[in-house]
Structure 1
Amino acid sequence: MIRVTAIETGKARMKTAQRTGQDGRNGFQRKIDIFRDRNWVSPLPILCFLIEHPEGRFLVDTGDTWRNSVPGYLPRWNPFFTKEVSIRVAPQEEIGPRLSALGLDPARDLEAVILTHFHHDHTGGLDHFPHNRIIAPRENYEVSKGLKGMMMGCLPQRWPIWFRPELVEMDGPPVGPFASSHPITEDGRIFLVPTPGHARGHVAVVVRAEDVTYFLAGDATYDEANLRAEKADGVTNDPALSVATLKAIKAFATNEPTIILPAHDPEGPSRLDHRQVFA
């Protein structure tokens, strides 16, 4: 039996122009819109997802860290980190304590950690997994390193010194509207699909259970409403590519019963609990 559990690791606040970009604005213009925007959305959850599968337990993303609150942790030279987003994570809200509260030892009880991409609110909990296999998309890893990564919402200077992820390519067969994939489990029930737009090389994790499919979307969309409306976010550098990804997700989810689970959708855990599929 396959099961998916949502785990909240603190809250994130963002501008309305980040959650939903304005149609007709290119990637650069959307960044300007975020800085000009005076309106903030209500605090959104930072979600990780635990997959229980016959081949083991898999964690998707690691959330963020309480160290965001420590002066100097976020680079002051990049005002996006310090002025346009607000991350609030208490120490006990980090993914390690959350897993412990579920009776799980991260080092012993997880088969692997899977990263959808390397933005800081998805990698901030990496410190809890020094003994684990960590799987990540190679393309996104390459653009997340160094100064370029720091400009794009990543904190490679804060990654653990031991961090050596298992980098994978989208080298598997097409799946529905997705041109390629990458298998995670031997039975093929957990696999990655390319969902670029929010970030180059971004991937989603697909879990095919016995009677429903879970689509762990990362930040391919911030919520199901934007997915339905095919609205790209304000972070994307390529709005057209983001919209193409949203169309692909919608096509996939209308061809098989699918629960859409983005990383910051406050309605996601409820959809999961009630097994509410996209329709």
Structure 2
Amino acid sequence: MPMKMHILSGGRLRMRKAIYYPHAAPAETFELPVSYILLRHDRGNVLFDTGCHPDIGKDPIPRWGDMARFMTPVMTEGDHVLNSLACVGLSPDDISHVVCSHLHTDHCGCNQFFTKAKIYIHEAELAAARAPDGVQMGYLPTDWDHPMPIEPVADGHDVFGDGRIRLVHLPGHTPGAMAALVRLDRDGLFLLASDAVSVRANLDDNFAPKNTWNVEKCLASYARIRDLEQRGATVICGHDNAQWRGLRRGADYYA
């Protein structure tokens, strides 16, 4: 049975443009899409990231605190993963696996709703989140520290053992940032890069954004991503607005 890939909307954030574009004016801001990706495999439904918690569309301060000064939600109350899944006929209980690209709040804020899923997190990311300075590094336990089983994974983990969804460690943005290399029968190879490449210009210009944990590792990950791209992978960026507008989204899908 062919696997299907749905790209789902999780609202938008407003941030300082200079974080990603070095020549932008310091006060200039821009909007970034938040997304997550559903992979409908014949052995289970895999969700790559879960986006922002539903409460963020109402008032981000109680959950995010000072972080809301740097990431301002621009979304309706209903623009979150629970409603996006409903639009393709699924509920959280239909998700068997959640892959966390990393544990920042706009990527794992809805993990708590997937109580029947196995949660995949790179072992280095889990260690960073559990470290004494984890909260100061942007890891909020309320997003990721839940009773569901967490499976720490390493580079190359094959979710179903058939080569269709392989996890790729791409550190730089965070210690354990992961992408998913997805092989579809009709539309080919995709690299779900998340914040390993937040916006396409960073990869093209070899620029590590200002919110990068380790610049050297980020640039090394860019080199690996370019190699995968040369081998035919389409790179889906974490927050690129221009790319977002051209993607099939929601009930439309790749296969």
Class of the TM-score when normalised by the shorter of the 2 chains: 0.7 to 0.9
C-alpha displacement at 1:89, in angstroms? Answer: 4.0
Aligned residue in 1 for 2:17: 16
Paired residue total = 245
- Structure 2 unaligned residues grouped into runs of 5+: 250-255
C-alpha displacement at 1:241, in angstroms? Answer: 1.6
Given candidates 32, 35, 43, the residue that maps to 1:55 is: 43
**Quick one: distance in 1 between partners of 2:146 and 2:172?**
29
Given candidates 201, 212, 237, the residue that maps to 1:262 is: 237
C-alpha displacement at 1:186, in angstroms? Answer: 2.0
**Quick one: distance in 2 between partners of 1:5 and 1:242?**
27
Secondary structure class of the residue paired with 1:237: coil
Given candidates 9, 23, 38, the residue that maps to 2:27 is: 38
| 1:244 lines up with 2:233 in the alignment | no
Secondary structure class of the residue paired with 1:267: helix
Aligned residue in 1 for 2:178: 203
Q: Work out whether residues 99 and 105 of structure 1, in 8 Å CA contact, stay in contact via their aligned partners in 2.
A: yes
> CA deviation digits over 1:70-129, x for unaligned, max 9?
5432234xxxx132221234332110121012111221x222111110001011111221
Counterparts of 1:166-181 in structure 2, within 5 Å, are: 166-170=151-155, 181=156
Structure 1 stretch 159-168 or stretch 204-213: which is displaced more? Answer: 159-168
Q: Which amino acid aligns with 1:124?
A: G
Aligned residue in 2 for 1:234: 210
**Quick one: distance in 2 between partners of 1:204 and 1:233?**
17
**Quick one: distance in 2 between partners of 1:265 and 1:98?**
19
Residues 192 and 158 of structure 1, relative CA distance in 2, 3 Å threshold: closer
Q: Which amino acid aligns with 2:83?
A: P
> CA deviation digits over 1:34-83, x for unaligned, max 9?
9x931212x1110101112232221100000232315432234xxxx132
C-alpha displacement at 1:249, in angstroms? Answer: 0.3
**Quick one: distance in 2 between partners of 1:126 and 1:241?**
27
Q: What TM-score does the superposition give when structure 2 sets the normalisation length?
A: 0.87
Counterparts of 1:47-196 in structure 2, within 5 Å, are: 47-68=35-56, 69-76=59-66, 81-107=67-93, 109-145=94-130, 147-159=132-144, 161-170=146-155, 181-196=156-171
Moved over 4 A (4+): none
**Quick one: distance in 2 between partners of 1:88 and 1:163?**
30
Q: Work out whether residues 118 and 149 of structure 2, in 8 Å CA contact, stay in contact via their aligned partners in 1.
A: no
> CA deviation digits over 1:120-167, x for unaligned, max 9?
101111122122111111110110135522112221144454244221
Residues 88 and 165 of structure 1, relative CA distance in 2, 3 Å threshold: farther
**Quick one: distance in 2 between partners of 1:269 and 1:54?**
27
Aligned-pair Cα RMSD in Å: 2.3
**Quick one: distance in 1 between partners of 2:89 and 2:204?**
37
Q: Percent identity?
A: 25
**Quick one: distance in 2 between partners of 1:72 and 1:110?**
28
Q: What TM-score does the superposition give when structure 1 sets the normalisation length?
A: 0.80
Q: Work out whether residues 228 and 250 of structure 1, in 8 Å CA contact, stay in contact via their aligned partners in 2.
A: no
Aligned residue in 2 for 1:176: none
**Quick one: distance in 2 between partners of 1:21 and 1:154?**
26
Secondary structure class of the residue paired with 2:55: helix
Residues 190 and 161 of structure 1, relative CA distance in 2, 3 Å threshold: closer
Aligned residue in 2 for 1:273: 248
